Amino acid sequence: MGMTIDAPGAGNDGLQQLADGEPSNISRRRFLLASAGASAGALVLGFGIPLGKARAQEGGPSMPDAAAHPKVPAFLEIRPDNTVRLQCPFIEGGQGVFTAMAQIVAEELDIDPSAFTVAGAPADSAYKIVPMFGRVTGGSMSVRSSYETMRRIGASARLMLMQAASQRLEVPFASLTTEPGQVIHKASGRSLSYGEVASGALDMPVPPQDGIRLRDPKTFRWIGKPVARLDMRDKSTGKVQFTIDMAVEDMLHAAIQHAPRLGLQVGSIRNEGEVKAMRGVDSIHRLDGAVAVVAKRWWHARQAVEALQVDWAEPGDKSGIRYMPADFDSEAFSRQLGANTEAGNEAEARGDFAKGFNDAATRVEATYYSQYLHHAQLEPPSSLARFNPDGTLDLWVPNQGPEMFQADAAKVAGLAPEKVRIHSQMLGGFFGRHFLYGPGCCYPQAIKLAKAVGKPVKVIWSREEEFLRDPLRPMAAVRFRGGLDSNGMPIAIEAITVCEGASEGIANTRAKGVDGTAVEGLTAKSYAIPNSRIAQAHVKNPVTLGFWRSVGNSMNDFFYETFLDELADKGGHDPFEMRMRLLEGNKRLTTLLKAVEALSGGWKRGPFDAADGTRRARGVAMASPFGSQTAAIAEVSIKDGQVVVHDLWEAIDPGSIVNPAIVEAQVNSAIALGLSQVLVEEAVYKEGVPTARNYDLYPILPPDRMPRVHVKIVESGEPMGGVGEPPLPAVPPAVANAVSALTGKRVRSMPLSRVKFDT
């Protein structure tokens, strides 16, 4: 696997300023700091979000002021031993956000990032530093939304340490400089470590933010460099504790048996007395749509709960719930979506599609399909709940939004939100799995069981229960109509997606107009096609829906980019060259296309004979999710009727970057997941139940099917975009387009394992 980076001389000058945080010195609240674990004599800075003049005049909502908050807010702590503790507003789940946050702060503070210890901040409104979103880890928002805030708090701390050193050394402030971790007085040759002067800065005011000058990107020591991950050693040595690893005194374990179909309720248990007498069993409980066994050991709980013979009952009122009919078949549901003829609610319109289509020299119509997908994360869902004598609740739960979980847990427990402490461990699975999904979450079960038994209870779902209740990536069918002019170039395109968007599925409420997650990847295209119409026809699903890595883009870019190739073929154009023509004048995207072309050694669609004698072809695709731009080329062959991907080249332009090694890792992981989606993954339902309850019947991409991956990072200097999700959406259509070029058979659905191909 290789990686190259193209960066302009201006570096990060064009960064998007989504959050403009105001640091505050909270060191003087020494009692509160001590109770929060801060070291004696440490300089502690909190985060606050200013109510700027423009926002105040507009009457917009203000963000909390850390200095005025009654609890210890998110903070940067510079300790006497010259180490730094950072409580990160975002959750670490393997994407590298802890390291990135440390790099950004360290750059302006002027201390090596290796001196940092980073932990996830607890639930508290003081940490809601992302405008409009508050605080979530998702949407590839973490670094780009907090970049300016993190730089400013590092710069503020550096100035305060220099001021403290000025007083201690009795020299003018202007005569001081810093080197990593030290304040230097060059004239006398004296220096003080940050730890030595931290106590002197305890009572100093934070410098006015309008007077702080951030570093010129040309002088960066760590931003833009492949700094080593801070969490790698602890992960490699087993020191990291995930929620599933947590234990507290007097804790009991619980295992769950869910109703086979969503919406069913517990009727009767035929052998409750017999199971209660099983080894280690403490108690048996009826929950919403499930039964639970609490025991001293989880294995005993699982054996017992699986032995329960439950008669499940139909719900009395199905109107307000997700209900899975006994005859539901996902294949039949897909055909139902494809047969839908509604015009849909319009999400976007350019020009006059109807006229452009009617006037076209050539018309093309096609329907494309996507499948349900599991998150299939390695860490099974788990949660630990403990009610305390003081009336508070401690909840250990994997999550991507501590405050939203705090609020919901408070409702379940019947407590005020401030009585609930959320413990956010490192995630053992990500990709949108850890939001509020109702029956797809196990923490309500842990809370109810802990309250019922009067002891702490940890719930762990078995792999089979996870596959039964995992919220799915939505299924969709998209009806396309395209028109070509006399030269074979697209002049009109319509896409009507028939689906329920993830957001409206989670809310269990149809969106007013259009759910943005249903159409992202179909809308806001940069191709110069003068007449277009994008719409959504809503059809409710019986399954629980959820966000999946890159959300709607994960399937919609597959639809759009493969249909674009279909138009190119119909018009007699090379798909790469047609994209270049449709993007003429768009310097950023044509540069990106040329970058991936060069990375691949030059564009050649094929089919062609490779050196090993295999017959191969290439496909190209682009995507623009979460503020970044990507372009991918895939090279494939066919073996025993199935697709083999040999090489995958991807160029990504996120505007600017913090850590190229983390970017490369994210691109590699996104490519793996994108390939898994297009080649093999699919959640299938027959007679109302999933056919797969474990990895034996839900295949994910095996290591021997992972191609060689080549990554090129292009820093255009545009506003900073995301990195975790953007590399995925271009991968499935690049592969599908390559397969179509090789076989002459147009691919209009995923996964490709459904089809036996001939070359």
Backbone angles phi, psi at 164, to 5 degrees: -65, -40
- In this prediction, residue 253 has a pLDDT band, given cuts at 50, 70 and 90, of very high
Residue 53 clears pLDDT 50, i.e. is over it? no
Question: 3-state DSSP call for residue 319?
Answer: coil
Element (H, E) at 422: strand 420-423
Model confidence band, residue 56 (pLDDT cutoffs 50, 70, 90): very low
Query: What pLDDT was estimated at residue 129?
Result: 72
Residues in CB range of 447: below 8 A, 6 or more apart: 385, 393, 395, 409, 412, 413
Mean pLDDT score of the chain = 91
What is the structure's pLDDT at 319? 77
Strands (E), 524-628: 531-538, 608-609, 615-623
- Identify the residue with better confidence: 465 or 319: 465
List the Cα angle 605/477/701 in 5-degree steps: 55
Confidence of residue 469 (pLDDT cuts 50, 70, 90): very high
If pLDDT is split at 50, 70 and 90, which confidence band does 723 have? very high
Distance, in Å, from the CA atom of 650 to the CA atom of 729, rounded to the nearest integer, reads 11
Whether 1 shows a pLDDT value over 60: the answer reads no
Helix (H, G, I), strand (E, B) or coil at 643: strand
The pLDDT value given to residue 567: 98
pLDDT at 8: 43
Distance of CA 50 to the CA centre of its chain: 27
* pLDDT, greater one: 49 or 474: 474
What confidence category does residue 324 fall into, taking pLDDT thresholds of 50, 70 and 90?
very high
pLDDT of 339: 98
**pLDDT of 50 above 80:** no
Q: How far is residue 230's CA from residue 221's CA, in Å, rounded to a whole number? A: 17
413-428 per-position pLDDT tens digit: 999 999 999 999 999 9
Q: How many Cα atoms within 13 Å fall on the side-chain side of residue 711?
A: 24
Q: Pairing mode, if any, of strands 290-295 and 252-258?
A: antiparallel
Domains defined for the chain, CATH in brackets:
13-236 (3.30.365.10), 245-315+381-460 (3.30.365.10), 340-373+473-754 (3.30.365.10)
Q: Which two tokens stand for residue 733?
A: 């259509």
Is residue 701 over pLDDT 50? Answer: yes
Question: How big is the chain by its Cα radius of gyration, in Å?
Answer: 28
What single string gives the DSSP state of each residue in 82-100?
A: S-EEEEESS--SSS-HHHH
What mean pLDDT comes out for the span 136-154?
Answer: 91
pLDDT at 321: 87
- Nearest in space to 393 (alpha carbons), one of 450, 440, 442: 450
Q: How confident is the model at residue 27 (pLDDT cuts 50, 70, 90)?
A: low
**Alpha carbon distance 671, 693 (integer Å):** 25
Angle between helices 402-413 and 443-453 in degrees, nearest 10: 40
For a pLDDT cut of 70, what percent of the chain falls above it?
90
pLDDT at 211: 81
Indicate if the pLDDT at residue 270 is higher than 70.
yes
| Confidence band, pLDDT 50/70/90 cuts, at residue 31 | very low
Q: Round to whole Å and give the CA distance between 466 and 534.
A: 35
pLDDT value of position 749: 98
d(CA 471, CA 371): 13
Q: What's the pLDDT at 126?
A: 75
Q: Residue 376: phi, psi to the nearest 5?
A: 50, 40
Q: Which amino acid is at 138?
A: G
The DSSP secondary structure of 23-85, one letter per residue, reads EEE-TT-HHHHHHTTPPTT-EEEEEE----HHHHHHTPPPPPPGGG-SS--SEEEE-TTS-EE
pLDDT at 249 > cutoff 50: yes
**Secondary structure of 691-740 as H, E, C letters:** CCCCCCCCCCCCHHHCCEEEEEEECCCCCCCCCCCCCCCCHHHHHHHHHH
Q: What is the pLDDT of residues 597-628, one digit of tens each?
A: 999 999 999 999 999 999 999 999 999 999 99
pLDDT band at 72 (very low <50, low <70, confident <90, very high): very low
In this prediction, residue 124 carries a pLDDT of 84
Report the candidate in 748, 758, 751 with the shortest Cα–Cα distance to residue 641: 758
The whole-number average pLDDT for the span 586-598 is: 98
d(CA 575, CA 569): 7
Helices 731-743, 553-571: inter-axial angle, 10-degree rounding: 30
pLDDT digits (tens, 9 = 90+) for 394-409: 999 999 999 999 999 9
Judge whether 557 and 570 are in contact, CB under 8 Å: no
- Retrieve residue 76's tokens: 């940067």
* Residue 426, amino acid: M
Mean of the pLDDT values across residues 97-119?
97
Bond preceding residue 23 cis, omega within 30 of 0: no
How does residue 39 score in pLDDT terms, banded at 50, 70 and 90?
low
Q: Is 388 exposed, middle or buried (0-12, 13-18, 19+ CB in 10 A)?
A: exposed
Supply the pLDDT for residue 73. 34
Angle between helices 553-571 and 575-582 (to 10 degrees): 100
Q: What is the pLDDT of residue 131?
A: 66
Pair of tokens at residue 676: 């898994």
**3-state DSSP assignment of residue 582:** helix
Question: Coil, strand or helix: which one is 302?
Answer: helix
